[in-house]
Amino acid sequence: MSPGFFTRHLAIVGLGLMGGSLALALRNCADTITGVDPDTETRTFALENGIVNAAMDNLQQGVAEADTVILCAPVRAITAMVERRIGSYLRSNTLLLDIGSTKHDICEAMGKLPVGIMAMGGHPMTGKEVSGVQASDAGLYKGRPFVLCPTRRTTPAARLRALALVEALGAVPFEMEAERHDKLVAAISHLPYILSATLVATVAQQGQTDPAVWELAAGGFRDMSRLAGQDVQMMGDILSTNTQAVATLLALFRVQLAMLEAMLVSRDEQKVAEFLKPARKARLNWIQQYENGAKK
């Protein structure tokens, strides 16, 4: 429990892994937590396991009494809610936060909400390989970065409340403009996903000629193909709302790949090593910091 954040009535819209984990992590920071989810089984599980105090499928009803609302849904579902409906459902001075994976469209839509609603874009850099409310974990956000992107409806008070909420989660706040966020995640999330899916597509093509490729694949392929197994609808949403930044990163990647390929094909082993060594060093430096962060 953080002394810095308290809300009378918290509404979490979308009780998946992320939403359920938010409810667990903020349990001591709210008098009441209401979950909104269209799925009956999800609502029953969340209620029976004390993840929320109330659960309903009606958005208007679910957020009407809330003074803090967090939208936990795929990017375009969040954008649609913000654009079309939620503005008229919320009381003045409600803090509206979201956890969508790209921020430009959502923050734009938030900026058009009625004056009086305090809206901040959010993106926690965490997750699990499993999904669903059953996997909810109060520690999911702990020690992990939580990006906060201001909108035209982010008052100074809204900012302080959002920061306090992030600290209550044990997460590390990073405040930045939506555009900068979207460029950064294009590099560290969207490009990796594209490479993973394209690698699997390439191996599958090889597999048509020689199916033994699947039988020999081992740990390296396992790691490099994991992201390809992510939900296609969710990832399609993400890529479609960040096309320009993704295209820019793909262009940068292509240049690097062409350089390495030229060195390999011309059998310039010195140059190949000069390419691979800094990449190795950068990876080793990063993983050390990342694992130290995870231990905190």
Q: Residue 149's beta-bridge partner residues? A: 121
User: Using CB atoms within 10 A of its CB, is residue 271 exposed (0-12), middle (13-18) or buried (19+)?
Assistant: middle
Rounded CA separation 274/294 (Å): 31
CB of residue 217 vs a second copy: minimum separation in angstroms? 4
CB of residue 67 vs a second copy: minimum separation in angstroms? 29
Element (H, E) at 41: helix 40-48
Q: Which residue in the block uniquely carries the two structure tokens 């008052």?
A: 155
Query: Tokens standing for 60?
Result: 């208007």
CB of residue 225 vs a second copy: minimum separation in angstroms? 5
With respect to a second copy, which residue has the nearer C-beta, 3 or 220?
220
CB of residue 244 vs a second copy: minimum separation in angstroms? 9
With respect to a second copy, which residue has the nearer C-beta, 157 or 276?
276
Q: Cα angle vertex 239, ends 235, 240, to 5°?
A: 115
Strand order across the 95-98 sheet? 54-56, 30-36, 7-13, 68-71, 95-98, 118-124, 145-150, 172-175
With respect to a second copy, which residue has the nearer C-beta, 56 or 250?
250
- What separation in angstroms does the CA of 13 have from each of 61, 197, 247? 11, 30, 31
CB of residue 91 vs a second copy: minimum separation in angstroms? 33
Q: Which of 111, 264, 106, 71 is nearest to 185 (CA)?
A: 106
With respect to a second copy, which residue has the nearer C-beta, 86 or 147?
147
CB of residue 287 vs a second copy: minimum separation in angstroms? 7
With respect to a second copy, which residue has the nearer C-beta, 60 or 198?
198
Query: Tokens standing for 175?
Result: 């405040």
With respect to a second copy, which residue has the nearer C-beta, 48 or 267?
267
